[in-house]
Amino acid sequence: MYEFLNELETLIQNRKNKPSPHSYVSSLFEAGLDRLLKKIGEEAGEVIIASKNQNHTELKHEAADLMFHLLLVLAYHNLSLSDITSVLKDRHHGS
């Protein structure tokens, strides 16, 4: 499971550093931070609606979209999932 997320992070970094004209990821990086953040807001809203509607299939898909776009925002700032995991571990061990 986590191996795939690492692969996805690598792909995202590659698209960020070496844009491809037909890549959705490259197009979002090219559009800039405001566009990336707009996608986070859109996807978060869709997660909320799917959860409120108790539609588990839709919730899985919207959560995946939200996670994907969060990975893009993290990559924009040169952060990774391991950076976030470190924070979570520190919080857990601090409680």
95 within domain boundaries: no
Which of these, 75, 72, 84, lies nearest to 35 by C-alpha position?
72
Q: Under a CB-based contact definition with an 8 Å cutoff, are residues 81 and 5 in contact? A: yes
Distance between CA 56 and CA 6 in Å, rounded?
A: 25
Q: pTM for this structure?
A: 0.91
Residue 69 lies in a domain: yes
> What's the domain range around 30?
2-90
Q: Within a domain: residue 45? A: yes
pLDDT tens, position by position, 43-95: 999 999 999 999 999 999 999 999 999 999 999 999 999 999 999 999 999 76
If one counts the domains in the chain, the total is 1
| Average of per-residue pLDDT across 32-44 | 98
CB 73 within 8 A of CB 40: yes
* Residue 30 resides in a domain: yes
The CATH number covering residue 72 comes to 1.10.287.1080
Q: Is residue 61 in a domain?
A: yes
Residue with tokens 């924009």: 76
> What is the distance between the alpha carbons of residues 62 and 60, in angstroms, rounded to a whole number?
6
